[in-house]
Structure 1
Amino acid sequence: MVRVGLQISATLENIDKLETSHPDYPFFVKLTCTNCGDKSDKWHDITESERVDRTGQTRNAAGSNFVMKCKMCGRENSIDIVEKSNVAYTADDAGHFKTIVVFDCRGVEPVEFSPRAGWRVSSSENGQSFEDVDLSDDDWVDYDQKNNNSVGVYEFASKFIKLKK
């Protein structure tokens, strides 16, 4: 098993906190098989609140958050989101990479991330909260009516790093 952290970086304008709608947020990733090196060309979603058994059937208990069979080597691989590893990206983190979630990988590792919709944004100075924010374009802008100022997420970037246990 290898633990892989998803790190993000962004410039935040008048924002205290950027976070996923944990545990229902689907992390859309592209994967590489660690056995044969085959990289998926489609996006796969991994959601902590969903469990899948080895036959690919979704269920609530046991199993893993994601199971797939490599189309090249036929090996069965799985990924779990490490419980309580999902954290917010804050104003103090702005402009720096920070690990926001950790994946426990068996036979496959994430190599690309697509942020998409489902983020929560909290404005600074106890301002307005925004739900289901879409970061598909790596930028997002809105207006905080409570504080009468613009809010935004700019230059969103992500990367995966291998972690020591």
Structure 2
Amino acid sequence: MNNQDLAKNVLDLVGGEQNISGLTHCATRLRFVLKDDNKADLKALDQLEGVLRAQNSGGQVQIVIGAKVDAVYSEVRKLTSDRIGGGEESVDNGPKKRRNPVNVVLETIAGIFTPVLPALVGCGMIKCLSTVMAAMDGLKVQASSRSLT
């Protein structure tokens, strides 16, 4: 199934454009904020070719697509008006949902640390390499016997 067909099917199975109040994506998932979660057919979404998993989590319908999520997201955006999504002109006519305060705090913490993760991973890899080299006597620090006097 090509990306355009997948986008059409996903859009139909989440209840259509009228049911969507927000649309974003991450590295592997399309994330829909729906006005009425009951209109989304998660079982049918799970059965779609190209969809790895569909679930309702954290007030969102999350559709796991994998590496081609960006292309499918672009196709969904082409099929919908510019009023949905995370943009400035986003319109939400549905009732406001109360979010779990614990989830809000965890999402905030994750949002703060996510940009720093590559630097932390790089530092960890350097530390790992230096530890391995030191254990193999690859890093020998020689003390100078000369004094600077």
State whether TM-score is above 0.5: no
TM normalised by structure 2 equals 0.25
- Which structure has more helix as a fraction of its residues? 2
Greater RCO (CA < 8 Å, at least 6 residues apart)? 1
Of structures 1 and 2, the larger Rg is shown by: 2
- Which structure has more strand as a fraction of its residues? 1
TM normalised by structure 1 equals 0.23
